[in-house]
Structure 1
């Protein structure tokens, strides 16, 4: 069973997702600092740089947004020219365009934006100009994939594209059609606002953190939603009534004296899961070190000694570590390059078992993760896309004493 636990304070909303009591996702959002990813802007092209095949677009933020040439071409790969054109033939300084934020600004970099527009709904992702129908790879039944693709082809207009989401599996055509009508109306509002406003201007904001998780991970008829704020309870119920008019479980209002995160065991799991050193069942450990674009995870047997032979001990430790790493990558929202230093195994079948265990865990992660395989040094290489940053609620700061970096844990209190 899934439980969404929402803890609201004066300035921060924190959301924890539990599966059978185990923490699998966590995010936090300041009230006045909602993320930009998914939002639409009417921007003005400021600079076109042929040497970088990119343009900088003023969207009204501190830093101009970065628009790469591939994000200006047709969203359908088969509709793109065989030879990539110069960015100068596509954009000119002063030109006004609608862009969507696909990656948050970070450090000294502005946001990454695109003209490959997407509007996610409950059952599908709507793409106004993509001209194709896709089906989530997580839907494995070929008959169901064919059914959903047929529904999408029947409902979309000529220039439109849709991707049927995993949760659309076995849903009736009427539900999917209602979702598409709602998303079309949203897109109409965005385009009308673009005609009525001058650049730079915000045209459409993404949903709040609670609404996003309800839309993307919540089953209204089966999962539990518990919130400790009457105001947010009312907002969640209004959103659920719009998203699931056929009915949903009532939203629970937590009124206990103790913190809702303590009552549901979230706080303790957060402290354990976000440490640099994570102790696994049996005494094995993970050492987790993160840089801006690279995360290195070291697996150690430490106090774990169970196993009839060294190979058996090492393999069982690595299998346990793979399962925990799959959960923590999703929970900590780790992105970029990920290198895992598993303990050396002699047999190829054991290395395959470790990859299979890791893949079985990351299938539940909504963010794309690619396992590239073992390097010549015996390290496991992975990559994971990350659009949002600091979603775990930690803000990196520079230490005034040593000049190093740390993590502020105040959001966890």
Structure 2
């Protein structure tokens, strides 16, 4: 049974926001606090800028008719992926059945834009429909449609904005624009300045495309410190604290040119302790890398991201409540709604997400939990689709994935367990080594075997498994020597044939 989609409320009152911008020569980190609770974290390292929004002159390397997709080289380590639904001609005529092999050919140069960063082993995802984001407008230079942000709900205001923009457009200009939410309070002069800026950017890209070699980067989006002002600043932003004097001036200059009302909220942080430490962000980052999230009164969440999906389990833990059992479960699930919504944003978890709330017997409790969960998710800037309870009692949602989650940015798989999160026990290793020695004794006629392993494994051979080792020696008729290497991990061992 496919659960129904639950609409997210649009008329919520967003809490006040504080934006913290921590800048070092190596990286820029931005934390967004809602009522002193960190809910978003963005990290951009100088060694690896995010690619979303970048425009390249790509080369088609392979066309895959069976998948209706193509691999395009844009000068990165892995070829990028282009699906037919992201090709401009298909977007413009969605009702017509088209074939990618009739649109592209191998060796063709193509103007493409990254719409998803490379994630894990997957290359970047591309589109041939170019969009250039400004403060108030998103320019679609290959289109003639004027769209308006869905967050602007008043129909009269939507029509007025469309008419204002149409009146500013020159006769022969491209009329492809999306009016952003921030345009609600923009003056005609500000809209015109934004339009002129984006037009110049597009003209520069077109000029470079004629002269640059294939696989060249033609356009790169603003650095994170300035994208904060362009994309995240809103009426709820109380203050923006920056801990770099040079970048404070740079942000002020950008705000005065493009972001109305932001300059007076940008302040240079002069605290004795580091900015993120002062606001407890460093502690929250370390907590967000753990699978367990403690809630009030002893209940907790377990968050497990995998390649295919993320699973979240809600547990009462030590919370027994003060009333009946149903009320205890209901209260735990309600608290979990806001904690889960916050963790999705903080950890930047995307794709399919399955949530195992504690089973509720009363239908009104299930409805109330879904209502609160939809409300909690509505604060998210990223597109979220929430479904109801499945027949198995799980809540299913999808969250648009455009960049790697926090764990992938800050961590790497453990070289000992290879990212499994578990190690084979020393006893398992003892038995594995013995089976391998039996195999090798049948293949090779040697004088003796020498086992080189970690202290844990060798200690077990000398103690609890000494009898099984003696039986092995009798069985193969060859001596087995033991050697400790303190540099070996628990799963690492060598069998030397002498």
**Length-normalised TM-score, structure 2:** 0.76
RMSD between aligned residues:
2.3
How far does residue 222 in structure 1 lie from its aligned partner after superposition? Answer: 5.2
Equivalent residues of 2:139, 2:176 under 8 A apart: yes
Equivalent residues of 1:220, 1:240 under 8 A apart: no
* 2:98 is the counterpart of 1:85: yes
Aligned equivalent of 1:303, options 308, 314, 318: 318
Secondary structure at 1:401's aligned position in 2? Answer: coil
Q: Which residue of 1 aligns with 2:113?
A: 100
Matched ranges for 1:145-224 at <5 A: 145-155=158-168, 159-219=174-234, 223-224=238-239
Secondary structure at 1:45's aligned position in 2? Answer: strand
Q: Which residue of 2 aligns with 1:411?
A: none
Equivalent residues of 1:277, 1:286 under 8 A apart: yes
* 2:87 is the counterpart of 1:111: no
Task: Determine the C-alpha separation between the residues in 2 that align with 1:200 and 1:330.
Answer: 33
Query: What runs of 5+ residues in structure 1 fail to find an aligned partner?
Result: 407-413
Q: Which residue of 2 aligns with 1:2?
A: 17
Superposed CA offset, 1:356-404 (max 9, x none): 2122222222211100221110000000111111456744423222222
Superposed CA offset, 1:60-80 (max 9, x none): 1111211111111437x5x41
Q: Which residue of 2 aligns with 1:120?
A: 133
Aligned residues: 404
Larger Rg: 2
Task: Determine the C-alpha separation between the residues in 1 that align with 2:257 and 2:206.
Answer: 23
Q: Which residue of 1 aligns with 2:148?
A: 135
**Length-normalised TM-score, structure 1:** 0.90
Equivalent residues of 2:314, 2:333 under 8 A apart: yes
Aligned equivalent of 2:357, options 327, 342, 359: 342
Superposed CA offset, 1:223-276 (max 9, x none): 312122222222222221221367721532223332211112222333334421
Equivalent residues of 1:276, 1:289 under 8 A apart: yes
Task: Determine the C-alpha separation between the residues in 2 that align with 1:242 and 1:392.
Answer: 36
Task: Determine the C-alpha separation between the residues in 1 that align with 2:146 and 2:382.
Answer: 20
Equivalent residues of 1:138, 1:363 under 8 A apart: no
Aligned equivalent of 1:360, options 361, 375, 387: 375
How far does residue 221 in structure 1 lie from its aligned partner after superposition? Answer: 9.7
Q: Which has the higher helix share?
A: 2
* CA distance 1:247–1:106, change in 2 (3 Å): closer
Task: Determine the C-alpha separation between the residues in 1 that align with 2:351 and 2:230.
Answer: 25
Superposed CA offset, 1:69-128 (max 9, x none): 1111437x5x41533211121112222111000111233332111111111221222211
Task: Determine the C-alpha separation between the residues in 1 that align with 2:121 and 2:289.
Answer: 26
Task: Determine the C-alpha separation between the residues in 2 that align with 1:280 and 1:84.
Answer: 51
